[in-house]
Structure 1
Amino acid sequence: MLAGGVVWLTQDEDAPAVRERCSARVGGESTSMSPEQAGNAATVVGISVLRGLPARAATIAIATVVQESRIENLDHGDRDSLGLFQQRPSQGWGTPAQVQDPVYATNAFYDALVEVDGYRDLPVTDAAQRVQRSGFPLAYGDHEPEARLVASTLTGYDPGGFNCRLRALDESIERGDDDSPTPTADRLRRAVAAQVTASAPRVVAESEGKVLEYRLEGEEAARLAWALAGWSVASAKVHDVTEVSVAGSRWSRERSGRGWVAAETGVPTGGVRVGDRSAAGQRPARSR
């Protein structure tokens, strides 16, 4: 378990503030983390989905960042090690700025991992060590159980297994239209394109530019939709997401203590709606 603790959600204004936490759960097993860690985990796993890599690659990568940085984008480390993967600029991983960019660092890790012959069949600790060349080569395997949970939920193989319990957002004053996303929605769009899918979204009608809809295609459309949905929940703190919907299920930030709930979302199989519906978007969005 990455971190523990009880999370209390309440509507009592005099009660203590919600302790924001995220968790990956499969069956009776779970692991929890901070929203910051969840956002980084979403990047690491999402990029494996974007690149079409197997879930095993994501498991190896998550086990690596748990060991190296506890899934935190560190600005320090042993000698010149930096970032999520504690990559060393002096060893050719990139500039200090590059290895502290989670997207760059994750792609650099996967670039090296796919060059490891038979990495899918190697023990996690061996595959990770062939990339990292760590002084503690046996430590990566210690984190395989929680890495599997995170990878399985964020790749969409265990739908609805990733949840974040977050405080509600203040009402946004941003406004767009049916053709133009708000600045926040546009930043979300660009992050999705860099981290989880190249599919282009549309702005949902009557959402004032705050909500994007994606339509994933192909035989794995349903799984990929759940991968994007899981990424969106894990990244909700970073990108000011208040609601994520897929076919038959919805996650709402205001009711995030309930996790994913069954709902008539109007979203087809392979579709995902994501964005800020806390103000505009109160009316049901029309499907096109």
Structure 2
Amino acid sequence: MRKGPAVLLVVVLVIVAGIGVVVWQAVNKPKPGCIVSGDREITLSIEQAEYAATIAAVGYSEGLPEHAVTVALATALQESGLRNLQGGDRDSAGLFQQRPSQGWGTHAQVTDPVYAATAFYRVLREQPDWQDISVTEAAQVVQRSAFPEAYAQWEPQARSIAMALTGQSQAALRCQDVPLRVPGDDVATVAARELGTAKLSGPQPQQRGWAIASWLVAHSARFGLDTVTYDGRTWTSDSGKWTSTGTPDGQLSLHRATSAQ
């Protein structure tokens, strides 16, 4: 009995099967990104999550309520898709498409996310009834858009993101398959500018602790963070999930990767 052709056929089938597995793994491998849990899951790119976290952090550091952060996020979602655009309609630029010719600042300033968010909140707070009007109305009094109703479509997403990033929703933001930068930016320096504090470890009040922990996860690629732990729960860049790892204790900690992933 000639076994040569049969053996060859088996080898070919094994090779084809192996290629199929590799292709399936490549197609089904999770893409880098972040997910916000809430009434429904919201998917953000790493870039969008970073900018959303910065917008929320600036508002939170200024003592503004979740409503203000929701207004800012809904505006940025509509105006730029949570991207720091270098241009736009006429001289508009940045997350909020602010116009230097309208007194918002220089092009360099409005494309600085911290400056842009600070400027947005400043104008919002100048409105006497901003806390009592809808997200759409509040966004419009700041932006003076030609499409004032456009912000309404983003309110549900913006509110869920705001609740996650201000710590009202616990462990509600997670990022997966994060391309860590090693060495990353100095986390304490950036935290001091955005969050108003460089204290990123030790005991934290619950809402503030979750706000900082979520900010760290959202910026994990930028800072090269592979682990963030708060109140007995840990997020890792490997799993992309929050898991229970201890007794709730209000303690915050982080770990920076030593090599890129």
Partner of 1:193: 192
* Partner SS, residue 105 of structure 2: coil
Displaced runs of 4+ in structure 1, greater than 3 A?
Answer: 12-15, 167-170
Secondary structure of the 1:117 match is coil
In structure 1, runs of 5+ residues without a counterpart are 1-11, 175-183, 202-211, 280-288
Residue 254 (structure 2) aligned to one of 265, 274, 284: 274
Of 102, 107, 110, the match for 1:96 = 107
Residue 22 of structure 1 pairs with residue 53 of structure 2: no
Query: Residues 205-255 of structure 1, C-alpha deviation per residue, up to 9 Å, x if partnerless?
Result: xxxxxxx52543xxxx11100000011111112222111101110000011
- TM-score, normalisation: structure 1: 0.77
**Higher relative helix content:** 2
C-alpha separation between the residues in 2 aligned to 1:233 and 1:197? 17
Whole-angstrom distance in 2 between the partners of 1:255 and 1:119: 41
Moved more, 17-26 or 133-142: 17-26
Equivalent residue, structure 2, for 1:262: 244
| Aligned-residue offset at 1:169 | 4.1
Task: State how many pairs are aligned.
Answer: 236
Residue 223 of structure 1 corresponds to: 207
- Structure 1 residue aligned with 2:14: none
Q: Which amino acid aligns with 1:264?
A: G
Counterpart CA distance in 2 for 1:130 and 1:169 is 39
- Name the amino acid aligned to 1:261: T
Q: Which residue of 2 aligns with 1:144?
A: 155
Letter in 2 for 1:255: S
- Equivalent position SS for 2:131: helix
| Residue 195 of structure 2 corresponds to residue 213 of structure 1 | no
Specify the code of the residue in structure 2 equivalent to 1:36: E
**Once the 2 structures are TM-superposed, how far is the Cα of residue 156 of structure 1 from its aligned partner?**
0.4
CA RMSD of aligned residues (A): 2.0
3-state DSSP class of the match of 1:250? strand
Aligned residue runs from structure 1 range 145-184, under 5 A: 145-167=156-178, 169=180, 184=184
Aligned pairs for 1:86-125 (under 5 A) are: 86-125=97-136
**TM-score for the superposition, normalised by structure 2:** 0.84
Q: 1:278: how far off?
A: 5.2
Structure 1 Cα separation of the partners of residues 178 and 139 of structure 2: 36
2:140 corresponding residue in structure 1? 129
How many Å apart are 1:277 and its aligned residue? Answer: 4.5
The answer on whether the counterparts of 2:74 and 2:154 sit within 8 Å (CA) in structure 1 is yes
Question: Residues 90 and 189 (structure 1 numbering): CA distance in 2 closer, same or farther, change over 3 Å?
Answer: same
Higher-Rg structure is 2
Distance 2:65 2:235 in 1: 26
Q: Secondary structure at the match of 1:194?
A: helix
The residue matched to 1:116 in structure 2 has which SS? coil
